[in-house]
Structures are given as structure tokens and as C-alpha cells.
Amino acid sequence: MHAAVVHAYGEAPRYESLPDPEAAPGEVIVDVVAAGLHPLVRSVASGRHYTSDGALPLVPGFDGVGRTPDGTLAYFAGRSGGNGSMAERVAVPERALVPLPDGLDPVAVAALMNPAMSAWLALRDRAGLRAGESVLVLGATGSAGRMAVQLARHLGAAEVVAAGRDADALGRLTAIGADRTVSLSAPDDDLTAAVAKAAADVDVVVDYVWGRPAELALAALTSARRDSAHPLRWVHVGATAGPTITLPAATLRKTAVEFRGSGLGSVAPDRMDAALRELVALLPSAGLHAATATAPLSDVQRAWDAELPSGTRLVLLP
């Protein structure tokens, strides 16, 4: 079979021939139809992800849509050892297969499941969002942020405020559920004032950026709240703007802010599996919109570093 193969951390994978995978007990061989190039995939392929085990070469890819030997089209997630989904075939534990309802586009599913899962777990499990509450999404212009906007709405949020850098991508978010937008590319003082004006009393923050924009947004919210004792549940999901923040001690005393994280490790594996099934089940009715671009897997080396518009997810097709 053919696969994308990473030989050195930091280098784009090459399209190469590899022996076909063999199924261990409890696994099935899946013909891969589509696999998304998510930040997690890049991070593991660069050796920087906290789950990286240092073993090379590796086939990148965390999830995808594939066809099982009986012809079922299914979503699958997870990787075992060096074998990821950016290959013509992959061995997948049977319990990790989620059959897709009829009529779904495999490219859209491969693009959106990883970002949608991040938002679903953050909103439902880690924030415990209740209908009627309000949400601020930091990094709303990315693939995951777009899903957080749409899923917050789906879960009954009364108000969704979307914050991001890219002006074009930000402008498109009102069409998919955002009530208001805030530019994260504004100067510090303007950004702080805009967050305070648009989102002072939100119940939940879903934070894909961390770093400086999170510091500024936190300062703005904790200064502007009308009821400082009203809980503010801040769920950190990604760190695209930086891995650390400075947290002034007084922030924790002057407001009821609570920090939580959401990701591999803070959500139990059983719950992740269940959440994948919940998400697949709601796809036909939720109308989630993912911006996608595709490339043949044979073109992976070139496509890996190609620039795409904000929030567009590349999907590789074996």
C-alpha cells in the first residue's frame, strides 16, 4: 500500500510504499477514504505533542473516514504506535469504528470531527453549558472555533460572542451562529475594551488561543462583570497564541473565575468514545458547516505546508 511517511521531525511526510497493515485481535483493516490534517496531526508529526513517543518513521494521521471489509462507511479515531490514518489502509480497533448515517460527505466528516469533538467536550463536559447561558469563543476563526460557535448555538446558548484575528473569517461567523464578533488583532487597549463591551457577563469561555490574547480577555472580563461573584467557567482547549499566561493573583479573588482544560487526558477515554458517537449521531440534523480543501494523498509532501484560508481544514484522499 501507499502512505505518508515522516522520517524526521519537522519535515513534511513523503508518499511511499509500505507493507500492508495486519489486524491484531479485535482490529479490522479499513480502506481509508479521507483523513484530516488537524493541528494534532502536525504536532505529533513534529515530535512536539505531549503524546509523542519519539519513534520514527511514523505514518501521520489521527482519524478519518474509511470503509470496513463489509462495505460499511465509518468514522474512526486514535492511532496505534507508528500507524496513522494517512495511508491507503490502516488497522483500527473495532470499538473505535463509528458507522456513519447515510448521506454524509466523508470529506466533511473527516474535516470536522476532530475540531467538533474539541468543542463538544469543552462545552458539554468541561463547561457543563446549560441552555440560556452565554459563551465567548477565543480563536473562533479556526476550524475548532467555528465548531464551538455552531455547537454552542446547537446546545441552546442564548448568546455567542466570537473572537479571532482574521477579519474575513471573523466576518463569516455571524452567518453560522455568532451574535457579535471581537477582533483579536486589535491593539491591546482596543481588544480589552471590545471584549469588555461584547462579553462582560458571559458564563463560559472556550479558549483555543491562550497566551497574550487570553491574558487580555481575562483582564477585560474580570474587570467588567456586573456581578463579580457570578461564576465564569474558562475552558482552555488550545494554545495557538502561546503556551503560558501570567495570572495575577487578584484575578482569582475579585471574580469567581474557574479554569478547566479539555483534551486527551482531562477527559476519560470512555467518555471520548461515547462523545464521538453522540457527535456522529447529531451530524445529519445539526447542519455543522466545515470549510474544507482536499488534496490527493500522493501529493502530501507539497500539500502539508500549503497556506489555506483561516478555518479551512485540509483533507487528504488516498
Task: Return residues touching ligand NAP (CB under 6 A).
Answer: 38-40, 114-115, 118, 139, 141-145, 164-166, 169, 184, 208-209, 213, 237-241, 262-263, 310-311
Q: What are phi and psi of 215, to 5 degrees?
A: -60, -45
18 vs 239, beta carbon nearer ligand NAP: 239
Q: Which is nearer to ligand NAP, 192 or 255 (CB)?
A: 192
Choice between 97 and 147, CB closer to ligand NAP: 147
Report how far residue 233's alpha carbon sits from residue 259's, in angstroms, rounded to the nearest whole number: 6
- We find the least distance from the C-beta atom of residue 294 to ligand NAP, in angstroms, to be 16
Q: Which is nearer to ligand NAP, 35 or 144 (CB)?
A: 144
Min dist. Cβ of residue 8 to ligand NAP (A): 21
User: What is the smallest separation between the CB atom of 233 and ligand NAP, expressed in angstroms?
Assistant: 16
Instruction: Give CA–CA dist 160/151, Å, rounded.
Output: 10
Q: Work out the number of other CB atoms within 10 angstroms of the CB of residue 85.
A: 30
Please report how close the Cβ of residue 237 comes to ligand NAP at its closest, in angstroms.
5
CB of 246 vs ligand NAP, minimal distance in Å: 16
| C-beta of residue 116 within 8 angstroms of C-beta of residue 288 | yes
CA distance 44 to 163: 27
- Please state, in angstroms and rounded to a whole number, the distance separating the CA atoms of residues 165 and 163: 7
Nearer to ligand NAP, 166 or 179 (CB): 166
C-alpha 199, offset from chain centre: 23
Q: Considering the complex, what minimum distance in angstroms separates the CB of residue 226 from ligand NAP?
A: 27
What stretch of H or E contains 214? helix 211-224
d(CA 131, CA 129): 7
Q: Which of 194, 241, 190 is nearest to 215 (CA)?
A: 241
- For residue 141, the minimal CB distance to ligand NAP (Å) is 3
Which residue, 116 or 202, is less far from ligand NAP as judged by CB?
116
Query: Which residues does 109 contact at the CB level (< 8 Å), separation at least 6?
Result: 34, 65, 75, 100, 280, 283
Contacting residues for 23 by C-beta, under 8 A, at least 6 apart: 29, 91
Question: Least Å distance between CB 254 and ligand NAP?
Answer: 26
Nearer to ligand NAP, 104 or 239 (CB): 239
Looking at beta carbons only, is 21 or 164 nearer to ligand NAP?
Answer: 164
The three grid cell numbers given for residue 191, joined into one nine-digit string: 481588544
